[in-house]
Amino acid sequence: MKDLTEGNEGKLILGFAAPMLIGNVFQQLFSVVDSIVVGKFIGKEALAAVGASFPVIFIMVSMIIGLVMGTTVVISQYFGAKDFVRVKRAIDTMYIYSAIIGVATTVIGIVISEPLLRLLRLPEEIMPQAVLYLKIYLSGMLIFFGFNGTSAVLRGLGDSKTPLYFLIIATVANIILVILFVGVFRWGVAGAAFATLTANAIAFALAIYWLNRTHKLIRIAMKGLHFDREVFSQSLRIGLPTGVQQTLVAIGALALLGIVNRFGTDVIAGYSVASRLDSMALIPAMSFSQALSTFVGQNIGANKIERVRSGLIATVKMSGIVTIVTSVAIVLFGHLMMMLFTYDS
């Protein structure tokens, strides 16, 4: 746990954002590696099927992302105020509502996945693979929310390094498993989905074991969790606008996919690969914004409002520089990067 209420604002945010930046790269590698292996071992139809699934997944998880971010801010405020009793209540509350929403997302997602893809006019030749990938992927939402929720809680407590370690474990496991399931066992897109689900489960299980044995505030167990309505209300107030924003972005991505789908498999595959690169380009801004959220939360909790403005200015400068460098690299070398996914021109 790290106190962000003392010291140089820019250095603190940069030091806190660096592990998150690396972690977000590893997080994106999940979808990137899946797409690379599927494109190389199965073909462009499977690549298009997997790519078409991600906007659907995004819209299913967008609201919970906002709520978890809201709870992270609440946790960081309580932590900055040194109110550890309420920190524990906020963590418990996050796990309870994440579990409920995780189960609901799985059920709803499995039911609507095929009708939604048909509404988006996905070509019939890739429909079965896209539906299969979606249903398997969505069956692991409880694990996904638990793993990512735990990482968000740790960041709220000022710990950005431990989530990175778990993400590295998950990513390495996913790379090994997706090559095994798709390249060796020939399970097709189902193998890619099972690899991601299993890798998340391995990392989450290790996180539960490690945190329950070593951490003072986080205990992940079926019993002993307490739901706090006040904390949930605060999380909604802070996180709901972000959740709505994420949902609107997801709806826009779905609408655009509906247009892209009309042009056939080649265009869908090309669009999905470009989307993976686009997601990588967004990582610096996303990482700095996450770091700033924790920084602002802790300093508001400690009633050090003057540090918030200084932290914001420093973050905008650092994020801008890194984003420009990333954008230039993708503009100059984007063609070579896309060839990682498929040789089909």
Query: What's the rounded Cα separation, in Å, for the pair 188 and 209?
Result: 32
Q: Which two tokens stand for residue 254?
A: 């779905």
At residue 315, the pLDDT reads: 93
Question: How many Å apart are CA 30 and CA 51, to the nearest integer?
Answer: 13
Hey, how many other C-beta atoms are within 10 angstroms of the C-beta on 138?
Answer: 25
**Confidence tier at 47 by pLDDT (50, 70, 90):** confident
Q: Is residue 345 part of a domain?
A: no
C-alpha to C-alpha distance for 121 and 206, rounded to whole angstroms: 41
Q: What percent of the chain has pLDDT over 90?
A: 29
In a domain, 269, yes or no: yes
Long-range contacts of 277-283 (CB under 8 A, 24+ apart): 277/330, 277/334, 277/337, 277/338, 279/28, 279/31, 280/25, 280/28, 280/32, 280/326, 280/330, 281/323, 281/326, 281/327, 281/330, 283/21, 283/24, 283/25, 283/28, 283/326
Range of the domain at 27: 9-338
Asked whether residue 4 is assigned to any structural domain, the reply reads: no
Express each pLDDT in 96-109 by its tens digit: 999 999 999 999 99
Q: What is the per-residue pLDDT for 174?
A: 92
| pLDDT tens digits, 209-231 | 888 888 777 777 767 788 999 98
Read off the pLDDT of each residue in 21-36 and give the average, rounded to a whole number. 81
Contacts of 283 (CB under 8 A, 6+ apart): 21, 24, 25, 28, 326
- The predicted pLDDT at position 53 comes to 87
d(CA 201, CA 195): 10
Q: What is the mean pLDDT of residues 261-276?
A: 87
Task: Confirm whether 134 is domain-assigned.
Answer: yes
**pTM higher than the cut 0.95:** no
pLDDT in the model for residue 272: 83
CB 12, CB 291: distance < 8 Å: no
Which tokens is 41 given?
A: 């071992």
Please, how many CA atoms are within 13 Å of residue 273, restricted to the half-sphere of its CB? 28
Domain assignment present for residue 75? The answer is yes
Any domain includes 2: no
Looking up tokens 């960041």, which residue turns up? 155
30, 196 contact by CB (below 8 A): yes
The pLDDT, as a whole number, for residue 314 is 93
> What mean pLDDT comes out for the span 305-319?
91
Q: Is the pLDDT confidence value at 192 over 90?
A: yes
Give the pLDDT of residue 76.
Answer: 84
Which residue in this structure is represented by tokens 């995780």? 102
Number of domains the chain contains = 1
Task: Work out the angle at residue 224's Cα, subtended by the Cα atoms of residues 220 and 227, and round it to the nearest 5 degrees.
Answer: 95
Query: What span, in angstroms and rounded, lies between the C-alpha atoms of 171 and 169?
Result: 6
User: Which residues are CB-contacts of 159 (< 8 A; sequence separation ≥ 6)?
Assistant: 1, 2
pLDDT value at position 103?
A: 94
| Measured distance CA(42)–CA(37) in Å, rounded | 8
Q: Is residue 41 part of a domain?
A: yes
Distance from C-alpha of 321 to C-alpha of 285, rounded to nearest angstrom: 10
The first and second tokens of residue 289, run together, are 């914004």
Does residue 344 sit within a domain?
no
Count of other CB atoms within 10 angstroms of residue 324: 11
